[in-house]
Structure 1
Amino acid sequence: MPTTMLTVDASRPASAPLADTLRMGTNTSPDGRTIGINSRYLTRDGEPWLPVMGELHYARVPEARWDDALAKVKAAGVDIVSSYVIWRYHEPRPGQFDWSARFDLRRFVEACATRGLYAFVRIGPWVHAEVRYGGIPAWVVDQVPTRSDDPLYLQYVQRFFTEIAAQLEGLLWKDGGPVIGIQLENEYNLTGPQQGPAHIATLKRLAREAGLDVPLYTVTGWDNAVFPHREVAPVFGGYADLPWGTSTKMSPPNEVYGFRFTSRVGGDLGAQTHNSEPGDADAVAGETPFLGAEFGGGVPTMYRRRPVLDPDDIAAMLPVQLGSGVNLYGYYMLHGGRNPPGDVDGQESTATGGYNDLPIVNYDFQALFGANGEGHPVLGKLRPLHLFLQQWGSELATCDVYAPELVSRGADDLETPRFSVRADGDRGFLFFNNHVRQYRMPVREGVQFSVKLAGRTVLLPAVPVDIASGISFVWPVGLALGGARLRYASAQPVTRLSAPDGETYVFSATHGIAPEFAFEPGCVTRIAPVDSRSSLTTDEADGVLFVRPTPGSVFVATCSDGKRITVITLAQEDIERLSVLPFDGQRRLILTDALAFERDGELVLRSKEVASFDVDVYPPLQRRPVATHAFVETPGSSVFQRFAVSVSPAAFDISVTPAREALRVPSIVSGGAARAAVEPAPECFGKAAAWRIDVPSEALNTPGLSNAYLSIRYSGDVGRLFSGANLIDDHFYNGLPWEIGVRNVAIDPQQSLMLTVLPMRADAHVYLDARYDPRPLICDQVAVVLGVSWVPEYEVVFSCA
């Protein structure tokens, strides 16, 4: 088979970072720790830092669930939690502020600190967030020109910022707290009277005068954003689909799957204002690092466009953006939620002048964690990369980006292979992507990479490989493993564990490609599998030692300094089950189908619907654990200690009774700022079909469960769920099960639930994923409930007291 040689010249020395290009705030904590920024990367305690940040809106999650949510976020390998402070929630009437219950910003930030998470507070005052008027209270919008230096508007903003500062007193980095950053405004590209970069400068001044003195100040940099140079750092993003678009057809190939070698600015991110001028982001690229804040952890479901993402649609974005030079990866959203109860007109809607129509309540976002805090399948795809960044992000941060010899012509070029190298001298990482959402990429046959580094050229792997459609990966070049050094590996590094008897390195096998570890001459004296269950081959050429384990195998390498390292190579299906958590005195690998996280020194396992599951632990525990449910130790795989866990199954029958049939609904109307399909008027919802749902009271708070879900499968246009007269959740039909955590919403056990489904017309001009579109099967309209089930979420807690 002919070889496809993919070449990149990464021999040019990495550029040195420039200091003092940005005027930020106090960056030193009382104990001397520092958070810094230069022209190329962030620093922590003077060392390069490449963190993962994720958006979680405290006001959209019941306060009783915050600690739980943040523990899961921490276990996902996330370092920083960002959150909008949505003004309309906190000052619904002039001068009357509400910082209580789910609006308690102070308690939320304190909870972040408790979980060892940094906080990035996005104070607006205009935040978008798919809320009415971008979060600015209606009483402000009714009175003054917003998003400008209008004196009265600034007076209101100053009062709001002062209130925020009071909530965060003692919690800023300079005071020993977790708040390391402030984002000002959002998607700001306005250049009219009293607007433009000067307005962002004014907001920064007001924030600092209020006492919001932090190491980092950012603004969003896309859609021709404007901001004052040297005063703020722009942040960037990209989404796998564009639900704010107007097309009723499948989207063309998206730019987020192609490496960015020229501009950091992505494509359409849904800004509601427009600017014909170039904006400021590219102009400061030499002075600011490539930081991300809104790489989509999913997408919202909007009325006119309802895309359904597959896990790889999100997972493939991460290696692409890292390979493009991103030195802070920020998700929007990381954790879904629901708008606060009772705020029935607070969502973004065309009826109130918004560009899009959003559900009144639901904000699931198909994110890593859904509206109820449940882990979505994409979590297992992304967590290994987060762990990689926690371990090797400091090395990656200093690496420059090098484009290949042959670069893709654009987003719709599906033929040219997509890859890049980030390198610093004779070490670096190779990033490759062969996935584009909803488009099949060609198999790359007989591929080898030629990477020219500062001192030599590395050819990898030794034998050409085929790379299947849909595959993306990160491979190391020149990576140190303790006393050994890899020339390269055709497997993805995940994490490292340290122990007195040596270090353990974990790699992920790339699907369809045999793992290969090429050790530099003389650095390793012996290779041995740990047991008969680990299969590997070795050979040597020109002094390079090649080790080829089968996925799931473990080998020990004795280094020339006499120390030993252990290398675990997990198959893709196992790496998606992997968490790395502190337990029984040290960080351990946890392999399980359950959602795993650490809470107050205990190992918590959450299993949705499945009452029996395994959990594998490495290194083996020093003490026999105790658990809240029955478990037995069983033979594990290779070096892992395995426990089989069994929980008494719980089940309840849910009664669904038709209450009324749907009436015929009128055609969907086009209009609004987008001149596209708009959500039906409120009066139209009286034509919806309705069902009474009876849930046994004990199903709402079953002992021993962390939660339970009403899983509703239906076909129609819009679903709404009421407890008495209160709307507790809603859903624009997209084909996915609609799940409501019974501990995430307020359900009155004394009343039946009422489910309504507005019919979907056969001629509805909205976009639906073809896999779930009912319109080809109907001739008029459809509003049916296919099933309602009760799904338990079991919790098992292990401890080693």
Structure 2
Amino acid sequence: MKRLTLLPLAAALAAGGAFGQTLLTIDASAPAKAPLENQLKMGTSVAPSGARLGINSQYLTRDGKPWMPVMGEFHYSRTPADEWDTELRKMKAAGIDIVATYVIWNHHEQRDGHFDWSGRNDLRRFVQLAAKAGLDVVVRMGPWVHAEVRYGGIPDWVVNAMPTRKDDPQYLGHVARLYGEIGRQLKGLLWKDGGPVVGAQLENEYNLDDAGEGAGHISTLKKLALRAGVDVPLYTVTGWDQTVYPSGEVTPVFGGYPDEPWAVSTKELKPKETYAFRFDSRVSGDLGAQTARKGKGTAESDMDATPFLGAEYGAGLPFMYRRRPVVSPDDIASMLPVQLGSGVNLLGYYMFHGGRNPMELTSMEESSLSGGYNDTPMINYDFQAPLGPDGQQRPVLARLRPYHLFMHDFGDRLAPMTVRKPDVAPASSDDLVTPRWSLRSKGDSAFVFVSNHVRQYAMPEQRQLQFSVKLPNETKVFPRKPVDVANGAYFIWPVNFDLDGTRLSYATAQPVARLDNGKDGVVYVFAASGNIPVELAFDTQVADTLQMTHGARMSHVGNAVVVDGIVPGTGAAVTLRRAQGRPVTVVVLSEQQAQRLAVGDMAGKRRLVLSAQQMWFADGGLKLRSDGNPAFRFAVYPPLPKTVKARQGALKEGTDGIFQSFDIALPERRLTATVTPVRAAQEVRPVMIGGLAKAAVQPIPESFRGAAAWRIDVPPSSGKGEPDALVNLDFTGDIGRLFNGTRMLDDWYYSGYGWQYALKHAAKGENKGPLTLSVLPLRADAPIYIPKEGRPDFAGKPQISELRGVTITPVYRLDVR
């Protein structure tokens, strides 16, 4: 396959005289596609304030302007209600614009006619708190939701008594009652009422097409939703696995995951197409639908009439019994430039916040025992999510947030842009040699998307790359000095990017945020792309207006001025001081600094905040959480106008580049757990093969008679307020279960990924004594997939059940006002 295009002599000289590099070429000279209007029949789109939401064939709009929101899934019924407010604010600070949530039917109506909307089931209060946190809401109404819940969330008494997921009169009667209850919960909270609910999803993963099913059933569900009062600007259905729906009545949403926990392989999978740019399709591989259908679905034939919206791009992965893939932060974040570069105009994550299944008399998880395709933990729904079940921030969140900020501040530029395919592109997702990149453009403005990361597969270093982009009025060759793109690197670069009236010809750094600082000017924040040298190129006429930091160099190259030698940091890299208009400052943060950046309202103004700690905004102030480290540091720009105080003590003030910095060290707390063996493990039987997947199935409940057990004495907790400590359970085995007396608190499939539990939750309930951990032995011959990094050394033994240790991580909090 031809892979390289030699750089012509004239272009080589203009690019700095570098020969022998790889020139990646693309033709973006054709006009961008114009969106089609009035293709989709949605609900009421105008709020009482006059604010308007819209949708065309390419993107969403807000008040007539292209809108590219970020959506994150958070299941209210899987999290204690007293934690919702804080957790929703954490999502907002992470750059989430819309919170999506399933209404899990069997969490609300376990008995026919007896609905529970109280406590952790209080959908109305959850939506109200989302609005208070500044989030819009998409309610995924079901009735079948999957969500790794028994029968996809449809109550047992429904499944046992009647056909489901079709236009059966008896079934539709119960669905109408469910929708009516949801409508009452949302009354006054819809967009048309001035509320935050902007969308509703009908059903999930629906591709059934026999009598009473298919597009007609989705049409029926929409009518039932409208009859229940759920009149919203956006109606969606999931678009994968040959989905069927009434064209024009709903819009499909898509997804992609970095692995397949629902697969049956006990080995690493081949490279996932989630990491491959797509130019003629929208479905990113197998998304685990539990029904099968042959032939094209409606989403494929509707591509020209519907925008490319997402709902389930994996922000993590669940553990299923037979397959337990662990993902790294880069495994998740590297999907973003690929999806955006493939045309996605709404990035929706599943899950963004982990949780735990409610468990009263029995559990309601998906399992082979109840006919499910997968075996999942009874309680735990961690999902390796950016925010864990106890609100802990995972490293992946920091990798994702710069992209969320980019979409918030520059998504209106990107959304109308057309995807362009490179002249040479990988032949398939298995091609690990050809450079992976894409471009989206409109007119002479564009963004370049690059990814050299494929999970579990080393990519070659792409050496001495330059890009040649043919635009309607010019051909842009950049950067001036060819760059090496390392294995694992991924980024977005701008072309002809508007800096409030000044054109940035290109940058080898990623735009992150724009901050309007009033009369003091505008600040643009960029992020360096790893160790790639930063180049900022401008038109020649701005040369006299450029003010550079120490070490930066300015070179005249043809009709451009190229600034290089920039050392990423918190200071101003370049300031444009123009005769007319406000000054424009460009800050280029290092990649690590950009991952510590959040943007939110403090003291009545939108500000940049840098911190390694978890942070969120509330009541005009800043809240931070640190797990294990009592030392806090954060920096703010623009500086705060008044004295800054922390409830926990005095802050030490300083400066960090253009930022105002603050430090404080809280008193250290040392917490220990005492572990006492209770019973030794017994030999367990071989793992059975069976179920719908005809693969390893979870051991039957009686198998736990062979589990080892330990008593764990932990410091007492009041059970009030935020979690004050996390217990870390480091075991090796098959399945771990944590108890308070006989009440199961949590469970876990061993994978090598760390298991934590907030001690404040253990203090709830009648039993206040020690905890008990039981660990079912893992057999050496178990036909399950555990990543090689977590696969235990059996040392010739037939099984293993060990507790390596129990530690307690204190949780520190800082409230800044």
User: TM bucket by the smaller chain?
Assistant: over 0.9
Structure 2 equivalent of residue 261 of structure 1:
279
Residues 625-662 of structure 1: CA distance to partner in whole angstroms, max 9, x if unpaired? 01123344354332222211111111222111000000
Whether 2:713 is the aligned partner of 1:685: answer no
Shift, 1:550, TM fit: 1.2
What amino acid does structure 2 have at the position aligned with 1:735? G
Structure 2 equivalent of residue 290 of structure 1:
308
Residues 222-253 of structure 1: CA distance to partner in whole angstroms, max 9, x if unpaired? 01111111111000000011000000001110
Shift, 1:560, TM fit: 5.2
The SS at the match of 2:525 is strand
Shift, 1:341, TM fit: 3.2
Written as runs of structure 1 = structure 2, the 5 A alignment for 1:320-339 is: 320-339=338-357
Structure 2 equivalent of residue 476 of structure 1:
494
Structure 2 equivalent of residue 243 of structure 1:
261
Structure 1 equivalent of residue 583 of structure 2:
564
Structure 2 equivalent of residue 467 of structure 1:
485
Whether 2:769 is the aligned partner of 1:740: answer no
Work out the CA distance in 2 between the residues paired with 1:714 and 1:643: 39
Shift, 1:345, TM fit: 2.6
Written as runs of structure 1 = structure 2, the 5 A alignment for 1:321-720 is: 321-342=339-360, 344-499=362-517, 500-529=519-548, 534-548=550-564, 549-552=566-569, 553-554=571-572, 555-559=574-578, 561=580, 563-633=582-652, 635-698=654-717, 701=719, 706-720=723-737
In 2, are the aligned partners of 1:293 and 1:332 still within 8 Å (CA)? yes
Work out the CA distance in 2 between the residues paired with 1:775 and 1:10: 54
The SS at the match of 1:208 is helix
Shift, 1:745, TM fit: 5.0
Q: Structure 2 residue aligned with 1:37, among 52, 55, 70?
A: 55
Structure 1 equivalent of residue 12 of structure 2:
none
Which 5+ residue runs of structure 1 have no aligned equivalent? none
Structure 2 equivalent of residue 138 of structure 1:
156
What amino acid does structure 1 have at the position aligned with 2:559? G
What amino acid does structure 1 have at the position aligned with 2:619? D
In 1, are the aligned partners of 2:513 and 2:524 still within 8 Å (CA)? yes
Shift, 1:775, TM fit: 4.5
After the TM superposition, which of the residue ranges 288-297 and 193-202 deviates more from structure 2? 193-202
After the TM superposition, which of the residue ranges 571-580 and 621-630 deviates more from structure 2? 621-630
What amino acid does structure 1 have at the position aligned with 2:561? L
What amino acid does structure 1 have at the position aligned with 2:530? H
In 1, are the aligned partners of 2:671 and 2:808 still within 8 Å (CA)? yes
Residues 154-209 of structure 1: CA distance to partner in whole angstroms, max 9, x if unpaired? 01100110010011000011111100100000000111221111111111111111
In 2, are the aligned partners of 1:581 and 1:587 still within 8 Å (CA)? yes
Shift, 1:594, TM fit: 0.6
In 1, are the aligned partners of 2:690 and 2:696 still within 8 Å (CA)? yes
The SS at the match of 1:162 is helix
Shift, 1:707, TM fit: 3.0
Work out the CA distance in 2 between the residues paired with 1:745 and 1:558: 59
In 2, are the aligned partners of 1:249 and 1:767 still within 8 Å (CA)? yes
In 2, are the aligned partners of 1:61 and 1:338 still within 8 Å (CA)? yes
In 2, are the aligned partners of 1:236 and 1:264 still within 8 Å (CA)? yes
Structure 2 equivalent of residue 102 of structure 1:
120
Work out the CA distance in 2 between the residues paired with 1:559 and 1:717: 65
Structure 1 equivalent of residue 32 of structure 2:
14
Whether 2:772 is the aligned partner of 1:772: answer no
Work out the CA distance in 2 between the residues paired with 1:292 and 1:166: 28
Work out the CA distance in 2 between the residues paired with 1:690 and 1:385: 44
Residues 351-376 of structure 1: CA distance to partner in whole angstroms, max 9, x if unpaired? 10000000000000001111111111
Structure 2 equivalent of residue 152 of structure 1:
170
Runs of 4+, deviation exceeding 6 Å: none
In 2, are the aligned partners of 1:265 and 1:281 still within 8 Å (CA)? no
Written as runs of structure 1 = structure 2, the 5 A alignment for 1:178-217 is: 178-217=196-235
In 2, are the aligned partners of 1:3 and 1:464 still within 8 Å (CA)? yes
What amino acid does structure 2 have at the position aligned with 1:98? D
Work out the CA distance in 1 between the residues paired with 2:784 and 2:218: 37
Work out the CA distance in 2 between the residues paired with 1:663 and 1:422: 60
In 1, are the aligned partners of 2:714 and 2:770 still within 8 Å (CA)? yes
The SS at the match of 1:261 is coil
Q: Structure 2 residue aligned with 1:782, among 792, 797, 800?
A: 800
The SS at the match of 1:448 is strand
Work out the CA distance in 2 between the residues paired with 1:587 and 1:514: 30
Structure 2 equivalent of residue 724 of structure 1:
741
CA 1:194–1:701: 2 relative to 1, 3 Å: closer
Structure 1 equivalent of residue 289 of structure 2:
271
CA 1:44–1:577: 2 relative to 1, 3 Å: same
Work out the CA distance in 1 between the residues paired with 2:639 and 2:457: 44
Work out the CA distance in 2 between the residues paired with 1:621 and 1:210: 48
Structure 1 equivalent of residue 16 of structure 2:
none
Work out the CA distance in 2 between the residues paired with 1:547 and 1:227: 52
CA 1:447–1:345: 2 relative to 1, 3 Å: same
Which 5+ residue runs of structure 2 have no aligned equivalent? 1-18
Shift, 1:557, TM fit: 1.8
Shift, 1:776, TM fit: 5.2
Shift, 1:50, TM fit: 0.5
Work out the CA distance in 2 between the residues paired with 1:402 and 1:535: 37
Work out the CA distance in 2 between the residues paired with 1:346 and 1:524: 66
Shift, 1:778, TM fit: 4.4
Structure 2 equivalent of residue 82 of structure 1:
100
In 2, are the aligned partners of 1:243 and 1:306 still within 8 Å (CA)? yes
In 1, are the aligned partners of 2:368 and 2:375 still within 8 Å (CA)? yes
What amino acid does structure 2 have at the position aligned with 1:543? N
Work out the CA distance in 1 between the residues paired with 2:281 and 2:651: 55
Shift, 1:750, TM fit: 2.6
What fraction of aligned residue pairs are identical, expressed as a percent?
50
Structure 1 equivalent of residue 319 of structure 2:
301
Shift, 1:485, TM fit: 0.9
Shift, 1:746, TM fit: 5.2
In 1, are the aligned partners of 2:241 and 2:286 still within 8 Å (CA)? yes
Work out the CA distance in 1 between the residues paired with 2:508 and 2:768: 59
Shift, 1:266, TM fit: 1.7
Work out the CA distance in 2 between the residues paired with 1:684 and 1:535: 67
Shift, 1:743, TM fit: 3.1
Work out the CA distance in 2 between the residues paired with 1:242 and 1:642: 43
What amino acid does structure 2 have at the position aligned with 1:570? L
Work out the CA distance in 1 between the residues paired with 2:784 and 2:367: 16
The SS at the match of 2:403 is helix
What amino acid does structure 2 have at the position aligned with 1:350? S
Shift, 1:621, TM fit: 1.8
The SS at the match of 2:128 is helix
After the TM superposition, which of the residue ranges 777-786 and 140-149 deviates more from structure 2? 777-786
Shift, 1:708, TM fit: 1.3
The SS at the match of 1:330 is strand
Work out the CA distance in 2 between the residues paired with 1:674 and 1:701: 42
